[in-house]
Structure 1
């Protein structure tokens, strides 16, 4: 009962043991056929070696990938955050393995656009933030891989950041995203850029990121080294900066040609999705799901752009044309995309009327 009454992840010493013992019962109660397998693997983690834990976490990651929104939000709860923290304290789960799991949760949470605040005020979140500061203060002895994973988890599960934490995480993840020459680092670069795109509208001095972001974009233009998601995330991070610094608009449009890039990406993605695939073809449609989510993220980024930087030029006209083709392709079987396109048409019409 106590587990259901707590809503802010704030526990005192007397609460903790009661909540811990009630956690497994709570998770079982919430279980569906998908989440049940996840919860069983979570329980098994306590009795595994390091390598066995990593293997089971890979299995858990596959289950997470297939979860729908309801299953995802039922599993990733305040109680789960408490359980993972307890397992770490009792040395039943290595912090490095916990971070592997949490990083993938945060990755899916961000990609699917699911708003989950279950870790925000938790002890686990505070533990991660303290580890970031402690690891960063080691200087020469810093474990860079550990620091990257800590920073990714911190950003994935928070909306607001202290100046100190934001500075550390920004520097760390920009550095990780610059590892562009190595193809085997592609997934790591994608995760780092996805985390950066989650920072939102926090004010950041452009000296801390602009040259590096330009380098990432310009290198990709020549070598096509980024995944669709990594490339989109780079732009989302930049466009979000417009809310605090409108002067970036000239760099984004005239130097980096955002409109032209967005058209190319939407056209490529549109050509790579089977738009005639119906909802009932679930197994086949799953193959297109990530591209569908990236398209939705591009449309969300375009909405931010239209709100912040109202430059009515040829690239703007190309964007409208690309969205029109995307709307026509998606309207029969991909309702979420077609609805987002329609909302954007209305947004641009309203802005045009205001401009006139």
Structure 2
């Protein structure tokens, strides 16, 4: 597999974010109000038809910068039928605007996925045109352009993710995995790998293990040794594998034991968290992308958490402690992250059962108590926090346990927990809470 890269390069790789075509120097961002940004977006789009290819590309890059700045709902409002119809018309003009239309479509797909936007419509003409292009290029055989084929598949996967079936679906998976398997650590390769893995997240149809398992296992394990993936690419690789759980239960053991998902997620979150300056609202492009990726990790952990996690108790304590650190630093700046942390603690509470002490050992109980003491409370978050505290207090005051451990061991564990709670300063609060309830 080659030599491991230096420790300094590993650190840089670990906190790297989105591919270079989406990085700060290419987004050409201009600050402005939402209305101004949206107006500028459509103004730029209307001008594309009358530009040279070079100027056209410059305007597409500016449009990408605007999409980055817009918040989720505002971004969704510019993904209109008119926009996709315009891109469809550009794609048909292959002499002048084809490559720029494809670039714009990739940008649209990228931000659609990164900001979790669901489209309320399907542009059938555009989808039909993309499929036609894929079939035409696929049938070229010796002269076929695999880079173009991959770009087309990425666009469909990110924008029309449920629309590929049969042979085209298998072709797309094969092409994207082939790109994702590239082992290079140069900027261009990392861009291509990241985009392919992000697009693979759009696969919702069942897949047999033979079509992907060896490849995705190799991608993740190679990264764990050589750190060749960006943090978004690594998260996307796990996302692709974990999304197959619903169709193949045997993958849980692969993810937890062979891929070491819990410890990997802990490491990634800690490095992302440590690379951010949470004390300022004015984050640059790279920092905002890291916040997005932290959000994606929390979402993935939430959806992955299973009873099987009981088997790796120590790793789960470390993961929960890591999430507590994310909350402690991000709570005043990123409401979405704060809510996802509380939701994850609640998921742990309802999943982990008898081992709810994880929430105390990791410091998550501190977070929940702090949440309950806020002067302004969110009903949903407060309700979940209350249930977590109630479960914790009930476990502490329960005289016997369903766990298959002897009474002496149980008493020792409770005594250690009470001592820790008292040392942390919230044993009296939980005791009072238990008595009131």
Range into which the TM-score falls when normalised by the shorter chain = 0.7 to 0.9
1:63-114 Cα deviation digits (max 9, x unpaired): 2222222331221111211222234445685322211000011111111112
| 2:223 aligned to which of 220, 224, 232 | 220
Distance (whole Å) between structure 2 residues aligned to residue 67 and residue 76 of structure 1: 12
Indicate conservation of the 8 Å contact 1:61/1:101, yes or no.
Answer: yes
Which structure is larger by alpha-carbon Rg, 1 or 2? 2
1:100-143 Cα deviation digits (max 9, x unpaired): 0000111111111122244x343111211222222222222211
Consecutive unaligned residues of structure 2, counting only runs of 5 or more, are 1-33, 356-401, 403-437
- The alignment partner of 1:225 has SS state of coil
Shift of 1:286: 4.8
Distance (whole Å) between structure 2 residues aligned to residue 182 and residue 267 of structure 1: 22
Other-structure match for 1:317:
317
Instruction: Let me know the Cα RMSD of the aligned residues.
Output: 2.1
TM-score by length of 1: 0.84
Indicate conservation of the 8 Å contact 2:157/2:199, yes or no.
Answer: yes
Shift of 1:311: 4.6
| Mean Cα deviation higher: 259-268 or 182-191 | 182-191
Distance (whole Å) between structure 1 residues aligned to residue 271 and residue 127 of structure 2: 38
Consecutive unaligned residues of structure 1, counting only runs of 5 or more, are 1-30
Which structure has the higher relative contact order (CA within 8 Å, separation 6+)?
2
TM-score by length of 2: 0.69
Indicate conservation of the 8 Å contact 1:246/1:308, yes or no.
Answer: no
- The alignment partner of 2:301 has SS state of helix
| 1:196 aligned to which of 177, 194, 200 | 200
Cα gap change, 1:206/1:94 in structure 2, threshold over 3 Å: closer, same or farther?
same
Distance (whole Å) between structure 2 residues aligned to residue 219 and residue 90 of structure 1: 41
Other-structure match for 1:293:
292
2:264 corresponds to 1:261 = yes
Distance (whole Å) between structure 2 residues aligned to residue 219 and residue 304 of structure 1: 25
Indicate conservation of the 8 Å contact 2:92/2:98, yes or no.
Answer: no
| Mean Cα deviation higher: 226-235 or 107-116 | 107-116
Shift of 1:354: 9.1
- The alignment partner of 1:46 has SS state of helix
Indicate conservation of the 8 Å contact 2:157/2:202, yes or no.
Answer: yes
Distance (whole Å) between structure 1 residues aligned to residue 311 and residue 230 of structure 2: 29
Cα gap change, 1:139/1:354 in structure 2, threshold over 3 Å: closer, same or farther?
farther
| 1:209 aligned to which of 182, 207, 212 | 212
**Mapping 1:83-98, distance limit 5 Å:** 83-89=86-92, 94-98=97-101
Distance (whole Å) between structure 2 residues aligned to residue 252 and residue 43 of structure 1: 47
Other-structure match for 1:14:
none
Paired residues, number: 320
